[in-house]
Amino acid sequence: MIRFLKYMKGYLRVRVWGFSPERFMNLCSNKGILLWDIVREGDVYYMNITLKGFWELRPIVKKTGTRVAILERYGLPFFLPKLLKRKMFVAGLFLTIAFWLVSSLFIWDIKLNGNYQITEDVFRSFLKQNQVRIGMRQDELDIEELEKQIRRQFPQITWASARLEGTRLLIDIKENDAPLTTDKPETTSGTDLVAEYDGRIVSIIVRNGVPKVGIDDMVEKGAILVEGKVPVYNEDTTLREYQYVDADADILLEHGMDFTASLPLNHTEKKYTGREKSSHYIKLGDRSWSLPQDRPFLVYDSVIRESRPLMLERLSVPAFWGTVTYREYQNVEYKYTEEEAKAHLNQKLMDFLAELEEKGVQIIEKDVRIERNADVWVLTGEFLVQEPVGKSTETERIEAGETEGNG
Amino acid sequence: MRKNIDRIQRNEERKESLIDSLRLPKDICMGAMKVTMTGNREAWIENYRGLLEYTERQILLQGRTCQVCFEGTRLSIDYYTNEDMKISGCISCIRYI
């Protein structure tokens, strides 16, 4: 720090000789002139003195009968005029600084965080519509207005925040996790709930519509379970009209279900020989360069690892380097043992059951067998399940005139 | 003459005991020179009047009550201000004159 201050103020290396250099030093220190690195060689003293102190030396020199000669000049006050002589250099320096300052007024990168459903492309085109683009001036950007626009344009975004970090625009959004509830139109032409399988009704709870089946009824596929046509009666129990509603009910249907899975006895597997070759490449934008290479192995697969230096990532320069590793392998024929085959098939069954469970299907009975045929393992399963059913279909309308006629 | 020296010495002793009992800093009140040394390579000196002689082998300093002579080889003054100074080099002897 002290050295920096000395440099800023400027100092000189001087040679002092004459009658009484010691007195010269005492007077300097009395006047508050800093001297340092004082060395004596023969009758001559060499020392450093501040530039300000040097201007005050004249009376001291006269008084002590010494002589002072400047050997070297150090510091900014001497460096600057020298620098100013090199016009092109100074111009370049100023141009650089100006370029920095000017380019820091623009937005050079836009980063989007927290998007799951909205793709980056969609968001980019939205930003383009709103005149937010890479290379725009920062003061043209109204961040609050942009946040408002985001929320207005994308109803699934519940929270949006945009901020500038240096020359980078960071947009953080939070999407609504719950599915969007779109308002259904008030007037509906009515829908029925229809059975999707043949089976037996186990339970039925109707919220809207007219139930057409009861518990323990056997139904066929396509049969109407709940009708969306609600009759309205007159006081004399004659039918006046139908109101059409969207039928809504929780219905459990018990029905049989089959599942089969098969596994061929033989299969091929990759067996890595352990021999690997790798090559490197550099990518700039969409173009990439690598050393020309022959086909590394007869049969191989490759793994590509790509990275870019941290500094270039910060600057958003699209430059990458990467490594391709080729791994040789041989196709080897294997025959499943019974345990392996069973494990594989059981896994398939488990996946199937998990899928059922996700749909809310309850399994009442199950019967699973694994058998070996000529050249395949076969798993067959029969299940008795209880499954929520009800597919919405359009209600068959009865013409208004006809209804009136009936009424 | 002998009596006079005795009296001065007695005065000094009295002054010292007074400063001791009042817990005042000795270097300021008695005008004593303060020398801090790191090994025999560097010495920081405070509370001196001026520089009397400076050669490569000897630096003679004037204090308020006495003179101090640093002897050694390749002696140089790293900095020199009104308050303190730093001597570096190979110091072999410090003498109070």
| Chain B positions in Cβ-Cβ contact with residue A21 (cut-off 8 Å) | 54
Residue A95's pLDDT band (cuts 50, 70, 90): very high
CATH code that applies to domain A2-80: 3.30.70.260
Question: Which residue in chain A has the smallest CA separation from B81?
Answer: A29
Measured between beta carbons, which residues in chain A are less than 8 angstroms from residue B79? 34-38
Distance CA A337, CA A265 (A): 8
Q: What is the pLDDT of residues A302-320, one digit of tens each?
A: 888 888 777 666 666 677 8
CATH number of A109-175: 3.10.20.310
Nearest to B82 among A22, A30, A37 (CB): A30
Quickly tell me which residue has 């240096």 as its tokens: A166
- Rounded to the nearest angstrom, the minimum Cα separation between B84 and chain A is 10
**pLDDT tens-digit map of A315-338:** 666 778 888 888 888 888 888 888
- Residues from chain B that touch A37, judged by Cβ atoms under 8 A, are 76-79
What are B30-44's pLDDT values in tens digits?
778 889 999 989 999
pTM: 0.42
**Could you tell me the residue ranges of all domains in chain A?**
2-80, 109-175, 191-255, 260-265+336-387, 266-334
Do the chains contact at A40 and B56, CB–CB below 8 Å?
A: yes
In total, the C-beta contacts within 8 angstroms joining chain A to chain B are 47
B79–A37 CB contact, under 8 Å:
yes
Question: Does this complex have an ipTM over 0.90?
Answer: no
Interface residues on A facing B, Cβ-Cβ cutoff 8 A: 21-22, 25-26, 28-30, 32, 34-40, 45, 47
Contact call for A26 and B51, based on CB within 8 A: yes
Fold equal for A2-80 and A109-175? no
**Cβ pair B54:A45 closer than 8 A:** yes
**Which among B50, B52, B77 has CB closest to A38?**
B77
Write out pLDDT tens, residues A197-243: 888 888 888 888 888 888 888 888 888 888 888 888 888 888 888 88
Q: Hey, are the CB atoms on A40 and B51 less than 8 Å from each other? A: no
